[in-house]
A and B are shown apart, each in its own frame.
Chain A
């Protein structure tokens, strides 16, 4: 009997102590992490949207944690402990079958795009393996007043009538657009980071490059040429979701770059400005597009932006005059 008590009681006691040490105590301590500067709790509809996100298991494919690693730079600045103050249940996730969504409200703020993408991701990203959430939408003969029907490409549009979001889709979108990283106060990158050892392992501090005010990696070496491969990769990563790999955009949703006047204009100022600062209510070829274009000045360097612009100016039969990183830098400086 004593042996049984030793094995059963002893091991369970040891385990209980370890469970408290490694589970409960860190949990208690970290549950008190104060919200970081600018971190706010969600509104009621956004909270409801988060529930829809959880109910449908979005976080099995989308993380919400930006690691202080170079490859995570595209998703935003490294997540800080204070970012999670209002996030219960936590949705950090363990897999990135799809991209990280920590900062998706900044990276893709277009309601038009988000709705089309939710309805069927392949309508805007042909290679996507994300499920279609078309059951969060309904087909009606005519959109109710105040509701904009989805500007679906023909291949994805219903035979007759128009597609409008249901309540679930509306709150889910409200949540997605609320996913914005507040800027860390400058200088907080080193002290605020949970991982002091990591910053700087890749040669450049990943946190610093996303500091909104700065002009990151301004390596506009004179005479540096256009890198076609890099230009295409940057375009795919940052622009193709809306403007499409064909450069034709989506009729009624996103303007074409192919044959676009600003892209073919010998004076590249407008083209550079739009990429740097984004655009709202653009008028291309007499059509007004309601979807806002996000600014890229915060996340891309002058060289990268020049590469993207040059790629757009040389593709799909366009014949705009190429630009240099210096021109982008000059335009960036002028805006300050």
Chain B
């Protein structure tokens, strides 16, 4: 008896040590990502301000054209990527009921992600921009560092899931592992130069621009939904089969739609039309996935009131549904005649990267980080973060959507170009108001993260109770 008991104790401590390592990995990724979020959105505020005061912050280092890619790349590769990988590690280990394959690799990956983002930011500010090609502006050697971080992450996630103690591979891991591996391919395609001359590069840009979003952020964010939602509701996902179906349809349809960024351009007509057709086909995985999440919440919407993590995820699901559906409509030639090249596109990208991806991350962090560290954020912090982010994001997207439409109509009516600049003025101001609220909410988020990582242990469920909850997922 005594021997058995001591064995259990040593297993327990071993388990606890693993838990603690996983918690520190998860915490470190979240903290680093949060710092990038603060930086990227502070730059965003400055950029928004420049629309009203173009002479503010002059000089090469603060000029709009250098800060703009710093904002987008820091958001993509500093904030969202790092936060999602941290979550993916936690989900992979927990859902496979095993420790991480390699804690060391996870740390190396984190270092590589941050070195890439830091070097990329500095390079862009010094004017080393790889061609203004959206989301691949970092000089290619820096993008190689990012690729190395992806490879390390893929290896570690696969290693973890391969050693799982469960029979099935939980759906979340399909999405996260798939997403990391596909993104390795995207990164390689983007770097190799041999098929990227003139118009050839335009077609690669179309492919890259959309795949970097839809085959990277989308699957990782969906991976969070599939794990955190059942966990928060203590009930399984509505349909596992529908999740699998959405996985394969997303995989097949998404890579084909990139050229819809270049409708009416000299790209071949067939390429543009194919992109439009598959943009419509994207409704299948989007609506299928969204329905799956919403049906998982069926009859439990009242729970939202009591759970901010659930609220964040709910907004994320709605953001996914509306943002992606909007994307399909934007791909129609008739609507793109009005909206293309206007600020409507900027509204759309924030609806998706913010309303969907960022809210998914926040929901995941609030749902899971306290479980990992045993420390909870305060209710006031959660309330402030949620409402400022929701209201700010709403103002941002609505103002640019209306302003962008007016811009497009001005052009169609043949008004002097400068008229479209003048007509945007008040919408630029409202965008700034929304952006400021969003930024303030990020400051509160940073405070909440601090409490969940370095704060005092609170009332969060003790780690030992985790396996029981796992069954629900």
By secondary structure, the B interface counts as: helix
Q: Could you tell me the distance between the alpha carbons of A234 and B333 in the complex, rounded to whole angstroms?
A: 28
Asked whether any CB of chain B lies closer than 8 Å to the CB of A266, the reply is no
Which residues B189-245 have CB closer than 8 A to chain A?
189, 194-205, 207-208, 211, 215
* A84 & B202 in contact (Cβ 8 Å cutoff): yes
Q: Known: A31-B199, A31-B200, A195-B269. Is A56-B189 also a contact (CB below 8 A)?
A: no
Q: Known: A31-B198, A60-B68, A194-B269. Is A7-B169 also a contact (CB below 8 A)?
A: yes
Which residues B342-391 have CB closer than 8 A to chain A?
342-343, 345-346
* A67 & B201 in contact (Cβ 8 Å cutoff): no
| Minimum C-beta distance from B205 to chain A (A) | 7
Q: Could you tell me the distance between the alpha carbons of A60 and B131 in the complex, rounded to whole angstroms?
A: 11
Q: Known: A11-B182, A19-B189, A54-B131. Is A85-B198 also a contact (CB below 8 A)?
A: yes
Q: Could you tell me the distance between the alpha carbons of A88 and B340 in the complex, rounded to whole angstroms?
A: 23
The stretch that binds A, out of B5-13, B303-311, B408-416, is B408-416
* B127 & A84 in contact (Cβ 8 Å cutoff): no
Which residues A14-50 have CB closer than 8 A to chain B?
14-16, 18-19, 21-33
The stretch that binds B, out of A130-138, A250-258, A312-320, is A130-138
* B185 & A19 in contact (Cβ 8 Å cutoff): yes
Of B64, B265, B268, which is in contact with the most chain A CB atoms at under 10 Å from its CB? B265
Q: Known: A3-B169, A56-B66, A67-B264. Is A28-B132 also a contact (CB below 8 A)?
A: no
Q: Which residues of B contact A97 (CB under 8 A)?
A: 343, 421
Q: Which residues of B contact A217 (CB under 8 A)?
A: none
Q: Which residues of A contact B271 (CB under 8 A)?
A: 26
Asked whether any CB of chain B lies closer than 8 Å to the CB of A55, the reply is yes
Q: Could you tell me the distance between the alpha carbons of A240 and B422 in the complex, rounded to whole angstroms?
A: 15
* A57 & B69 in contact (Cβ 8 Å cutoff): yes
| Smallest Cβ-Cβ distance to B60: which chain A residue | A135
Q: Known: A54-B131, A54-B132. Is A61-B251 also a contact (CB below 8 A)?
A: no
Q: Which residues of A contact B422 (CB under 8 A)?
A: 127
A15: which of B169, B251, B428 is its contact (CB, 8 Å)?
B251
Residue count of chain B within 8 Å CB distance of chain A: 87
* A67 & B265 in contact (Cβ 8 Å cutoff): yes
Asked whether any CB of chain A lies closer than 8 Å to the CB of B18, the reply is no
Residue count of chain A within 8 Å CB distance of chain B: 84
A80: which of B55, B203, B266 is its contact (CB, 8 Å)?
B266
| Minimum C-beta distance from B137 to chain A (A) | 8
Q: Which residues of B contact A237 (CB under 8 A)?
A: 415-418
B319-358 CB contact bits vs A (8 Å, 1 = yes)? 0000000000000000001001111011000000000000
Interface residues of A (CB under 8 A from B): 1, 3-4, 7-8, 11-12, 14-16, 18-19, 21-33, 54-61, 63, 65, 67-71, 74, 79-81, 83-99, 120-122, 125, 127-135, 194-198, 233-234, 236-237, 240
Interface residues of B (CB under 8 A from A): 50-52, 54-55, 58-60, 63-66, 68-69, 127-134, 158, 161-162, 168-169, 174, 177-178, 181-182, 185-186, 189, 194-205, 207-208, 211, 215, 247-248, 251-252, 255-256, 258-259, 261-262, 264-269, 271-272, 337, 340-343, 345-346, 411-412, 414-419, 421-422, 428
